[in-house]
Amino acid sequence: MNFESLINYIQTTPLTWLILTISSFKLGIILYNKSNKNIFLQPIIVAYLIILTIVSFTNTPFKEYFKSVEIIHFFLGPATVALALPLYKNLKYIKSLFFPIFITLFFGSIFTISISVCILWFLDSNSLTILSMTTKSITAPIAIISSEQIGAIPSLAVGFVIITGIIGAVFGTTVFKIMRIKNDTSQGFALGLISHGIGTAKAVEISQRAAAFSALAMGLNGIFTAILLPFFINLF
């Protein structure tokens, strides 16, 4: 098999991309554990770099790649629902913090959107890029729908979502140490609020309670942003 035939085989065989994606993430997990959980070797980062390199090298269109791994996208829904388990186990404690949770969610969501918009506006970015950035802290499926509703670019919005999640997962624990934030409830909620699913995966490593509050923040922020973002965009 010559080089061109190999590239053609990779591009036209659906299972190839599925196997490569799963294998890349598995390799990321192995490297992450072998490196004593080095923050720069997060499984999502390793998998992202490997897949991005192969997709670029083979000139495979994103739509074609996505179609081949669509089953993974399908399981995002059940995986998100499964996060309800740690929520249920900490339900009583969550109820006791209803008011602090609401206040943190409200101001945290507004701040993270405002600061990103201001930075892009200062850098003289175009309106489509700015709109796409507003969904950066909600999980990808919601970001796709919300970005379409406000007239942004869904693919760019997803890119911002991934980058935000990776940055939060990589530097989140370092920020907690610098700010001396030791409470796992606060850590989990911050990771979920800012870094959605990727941040929640990091919160699982901290504690079950951190995972519960991260899942809670991710879900509430997704709902909050999806409902209110189109409303505020239309106002302006």
Q: Where are the domains of the chain?
A: 1-74, 76-236
The predicted pLDDT at position 4 comes to 64
pLDDT score of 1 more than 70: no
pLDDT band at 3 (very low <50, low <70, confident <90, very high): low
Q: How many CA atoms lie within 13 A of 77 on its CB side?
A: 4
Q: Which residues, in sequence order, are CB contacts of 51 under 8 Å at separation 6+?
A: 20, 21, 24, 65
pLDDT tens digits for range 21-41? 899 999 989 998 898 888 788
Query: What tokens does 57 get?
Result: 């090298």
Q: What is the mean pLDDT of residues 87-93?
A: 82
Q: Which residues contact 22 (CB under 8 A, 6 or more apart)?
A: 72
Q: Classify burial at 132, counting beta carbons within 10 Å of its beta carbon; exposed 0-12, middle 13-18, buried 19 or more.
A: buried
The rounded percent of the chain whose pLDDT value lies above 90 is 8
pLDDT tens digits for range 5-19: 656 655 566 678 888
- pLDDT-wise least confident of 59-73, 118-132, 201-215: 59-73
Q: Lowest-confidence range among 27-36, 39-48, 60-69, 76-85?
A: 76-85
- How high is the pLDDT of residue 43? 86
Instruction: Say whether pLDDT at 73 is over 90.
Output: no
